[in-house]
Amino acid sequence: MKNSVAEELICVTNGCNSNLDIECIKSEHDDCIEGFLHCNNCKAVYPIIDGVAVIVNDFACYASERPMVFGSWLIESKSTSMKEFLKETARRIKTTSENRYEIGGAWFLPYLAMHSSQKVDKHFARVAKQDFGNFYKNVSKLILRKFASKHLCLDLGCAIGTTTKELAKKVDFVFGADQSFSFIKEARKRNIASNAEFFVADSLQLPFSGNKFDLIVSLNLIDLVEPKKLLTNIHSLLAINGSIVLTDPYDFRDTKGNPQPLYNGKTLRELLTSLGFVIDRSTLNESFIPWLLRIHNRAYLVYFTDLVIAKKSSR
């Protein structure tokens, strides 16, 4: 993490929102490779591990869902203070697991769908000749074409930073945030731009003060969180007349993995309007943009995402 970025961040523990100070134990050039972010108000501590700041409300809870990653942190950490911090965290970790083929598991519903007799529809037919990487390339081009003058940006749910990297070519500075430490670590490897930085954070508890960003991009994240809370949070982070670019396949699921029809193209636009956004005329109608995820060379997940562009109202 760039040392200079620390002054932009605030504490996320229990709504503290105080400024953070950086303690850099190991550095390379302007990057802090290992260290801590400290809140002098509530005394919260956020580790910086392998160059990645993990700014979450409950670090032990976060670590408990990632036992293999946490183990690598313990093994690879360099300083005594980081090892002690991680060992103390380990005492509070509880791990759980669930068979992925049982009801509620990740692969139960896909196996049911595999055996259905439903025919391929017109939207699926469009992906036969599609490159699964086209989605991010095309959305990035659209953003740069429409928002070339935007100054401070946030790529929310950035994964490995594909869109962040494209934004960095035109904007003054862009942050990439994701809950996956592994994604963020990979994003930092792939993006060496001086005007980009990545960190781990919960999209519903971001370490930024309000009215800050000129543009926030959130690709295929809405159906993974609480939509109203996410969009309310985004609204508070945007500057007046700041813009949001959203895509989503509306694949909402309950905690057991069952389909949950919460929002669609129409109701999401109604929600955005009610929260104080003005929908861009170019995206008033629902769209079906192919998004392919390659599981391996014999398996792909195919979605059709809807694109929405909106602006924070000045009223």
- In which region does residue 157 sit, left (phi positive, over 0), alpha (psi from -120 to 50) or beta (all else)? left
Answer yes or no: are the C-beta atoms of 139 and 283 closer than 8 Å.
no
Contacts of 69 (CB under 8 A, 6+ apart): 63, 181, 182
According to the model, what pLDDT value does residue 231 have? Answer: 97
CA atoms within 13 A on the CB side of 142: 18
HEC string for 64-110: HCCHHHHHHHHHHCCCHHHHHHHHHHHCCCCCCCCCCCCCCCCCHHH
Residue with tokens 């192919």: 290
Question: Which residues pair with residue 101 across a beta bridge?
Answer: none
Provide the residue ranges of all domains of the chain, joining segments of one domain with +.
3-90, 120-312
Q: Phi and psi dihedrals of 220, rounded to 5?
A: 60, 45
Query: Cα–Cα distance between 257 and 296 in angstroms, integer?
Result: 22
- Per-residue model confidence (pLDDT) at position 94: 74
Q: Residue 29: helix, strand or coil by DSSP?
A: coil
- C-alpha distances (whole Å) from 149 to each of 2, 52, 165, 196, 293 are 24, 28, 16, 16, 31
Q: Domain 120-312 is classified in which CATH homologous superfamily?
A: Vaccinia Virus protein VP39 (3.40.50.150)
Is residue 268 within 8 A of residue 248, CB to CB? The reply is yes
Query: Does residue 288 sit in helix, strand or coil?
Result: coil
Instruction: Give the angle 74-178-301 at the CA atoms, nearest 5°.
Output: 110
Instruction: Walk along the chain (315 residues) and give the pLDDT tens digit of each residue.
Output: 999 999 999 999 998 999 999 999 999 988 999 999 999 999 999 999 999 999 999 999 999 888 889 999 999 998 999 999 999 999 888 765 555 555 555 655 665 555 555 545 667 666 666 665 678 888 999 999 998 777 999 999 999 999 999 999 989 999 999 999 999 999 999 888 899 999 999 999 999 999 999 999 999 999 999 999 999 999 999 999 999 999 999 999 888 778 888 999 999 999 999 999 999 999 999 999 988 877 766 777 889 999 999 999 876
pTM score: 0.88
Q: Characterize 107-124 residue by residue with b for buried, 16 or more Cβ atoms within 10 angstroms of its Cβ, and e for exposed.
A: ebbeeeeeeeeeeeeeee
Amino acid at 146: K
- Residue 308 is predicted with a pLDDT of 98
Cβ neighbours for 84, distance < 8 A, ≥ 6 positions apart: none
Question: Which residues are within 8 A (CB) of 88 and not within 5 positions of it... i.e. 6 or more apart?
Answer: none
* pLDDT of the residue at 304: 92
* Dist. CA 26–CA 6, nearest whole Å: 15
Cα separation of 10 and 188, whole Å? Answer: 21
Residue 78 amino acid letter: K
Exposure string for 268-293, b = 16+ CB within 10 A, e = fewer: bbebbeebbbbbbeebeeeeebbbee
**Cβ neighbours of residue 272 closer than 8 Å, sequence gap 6 or more:** 231, 279, 308, 310
